[in-house]
Amino acid sequence: MKLSKENILGLIALGTFLLMSLIAPGFLGSNNLTNFLFQLPEFGLLALAMMVVILTGGIDLSITYVAALSGVGAALMLTNGFSILTAVLVAILFGVACGAFNGFVVSKIGVPAILVTLGTMVLFEGVILAITKGNSISGFGDTYSLIGNGYYLGVIPLSFLIFIFFVILTAILLNKTSWGRSIYMFGNNDVATLFSGIKNSRVLMKVYLYVGLLAAISAIIMTSRYNSVKVDLGSAYLLQSVAAAVLGGTNIHGGYGKVMGTVYAVIIFQTISNGLNLLGAHSAIVDVFIGSILIIVLTLNFFSDKFKKKKETQASTA
């Protein structure tokens, strides 16, 4: 039986988990497993968002600053006496507005995504610094902290259930809707997609709006868990989210990628990061490890695509 790319990755995730269980002291302890489940959603949501934008052949370098700005929006509401619902809605509004700005410049003006999001990364960082003066905003109250620290029925972290909800929602949107199919078509061939009657700009705009929504949800979980927000909220997840999407099988040129692949990759990275921390490894080692994986996977994908094209050329000329 031939295993799919995602199933192989699932086995690797299981193997990594078992390996860390054997070599990292306390890995299977209840405290560590609880921390594992609490840390997974904020990273996982950003990785899902990055996967969706990479499916179009683009990238979003501003994603962690979109999250940070969304977190600042929620923090301003909470510290000025507004309700939690208002804070959550403002965070989502900030995230979607940032996504709309990125989407407008990419889809309507036609500037490459990497340039647009590089610029907005600096822009959003500047806006956050102007609002916060470089300081952190904290003190959101016990009720708000339940989003990132609370449990459902005293067992499952609420934030983990939120993550599962968006995993299912993203899978449905990508695989069961015409918008999702248009994303894959656009990633494979944007010219053919345009001539098939699909409005590419509308597809792209919705992609960046959805990315902004996921970044905002991640920000709500992070600000709730840490009870504070500052300019570098979630900044460590930028490289990791790209690496998780690529390791999960998403083609960096667009057109292919599955939600489960990204989820397995997130579990692998979280397991390695968690295990290395328990083994006393410096945090820089984790970055070196993730960077190395990203380069290796990109190189392997490059030669795989080259081999595939060569084989197709030989078949067509035979």
DSSP assignment of 182-230, as one string?
A: HHHHHHH-HHHHHHTT--HHHHHHHHHHHHHHHHHHHHHHHHHHHSEE-
Task: Please tell me what DSSP assigns to residue 56.
Answer: T
Q: What is the pLDDT of residue 1?
A: 58
Beta-carbon contacts of 212 under 8 Å, excluding residues fewer than 6 positions away, are 66, 70, 95, 96, 97, 98, 99, 100, 102
Q: How far apart are the C-alpha atoms of 66 and 120, rounded to whole Å?
A: 9
Left (φ > 0), alpha (ψ -120 to 50) or beta: where does 83 sit?
A: beta
Q: How far is CA 169 from CA 37, 143, 174, 277, in A?
A: 19, 26, 9, 32
In the block, residue with structure tokens 């998403």: 250
Q: How far apart are the C-alpha atoms of 200 and 302, rounded to whole Å?
A: 26
Task: Please tell me what DSSP assigns to residue 255.
Answer: S
Q: What is the pLDDT of residue 214?
A: 96
Beta-sheet pairing, 156-157 with 151-152? antiparallel
Domain that residue 90 falls in: 34-297
pLDDT in tens, the chain (318 residues): 566 778 888 888 898 899 899 988 888 888 888 888 998 999 999 999 999 999 999 999 999 999 999 999 999 999 998 999 999 999 999 999 999 999 999 999 999 999 999 999 999 999 999 999 888 998 888 889 999 899 888 888 999 999 999 999 999 999 999 999 999 999 988 888 888 888 889 999 999 999 999 999 999 999 999 998 988 888 888 988 998 998 888 988 888 999 999 999 999 889 988 888 888 887 777 778 777 877 887 787 777 777 777 777 777 666
| Residue 204 included in any domain | yes
| Residue 265 included in any domain | yes
| Residue 49 included in any domain | yes
Q: How far apart are the C-alpha atoms of 14 and 199, rounded to whole Å?
A: 41
Token output for 99: 């996504």
CB environment 270-288: b (16+ within 10 A), e (fewer): bbbbbbbbbeebeeeebee
Q: At what angle do helices 259-278 and 237-247 cross, to 10 degrees?
A: 130
Do the Cβ atoms of 158 and 150 come closer than 8 Å?
yes
| Residue 276 included in any domain | yes
Greatest distance between any 2 Cα atoms in the chain:
73
Q: What is the pLDDT of residue 102?
A: 95
| Residue 264 included in any domain | yes
| Residue 161 included in any domain | yes
Q: What is the pLDDT of residue 67?
A: 95
Q: How far apart are the C-alpha atoms of 204 and 200, rounded to whole Å?
A: 6
Phi/psi at 317 (5° precision):
-90, -10
Q: What is the pLDDT of residue 318?
A: 65
Identify which of 297, 287, 247, 286 has the alpha carbon closest to the alpha carbon of residue 267: 247
| Residue 220 included in any domain | yes
In the block, residue with structure tokens 């840490």: 226
Q: What is the pLDDT of residue 2?
A: 65
Q: How far apart are the C-alpha atoms of 26 and 177, rounded to whole Å?
A: 43
Residue 280 belongs to domain with CATH number: 1.10.3470
CB environment 135-160: b (16+ within 10 A), e (fewer): eebeebeeebeebbbebeeeeebbbb
| Residue 11 included in any domain | no
Number of domains in the chain: 1
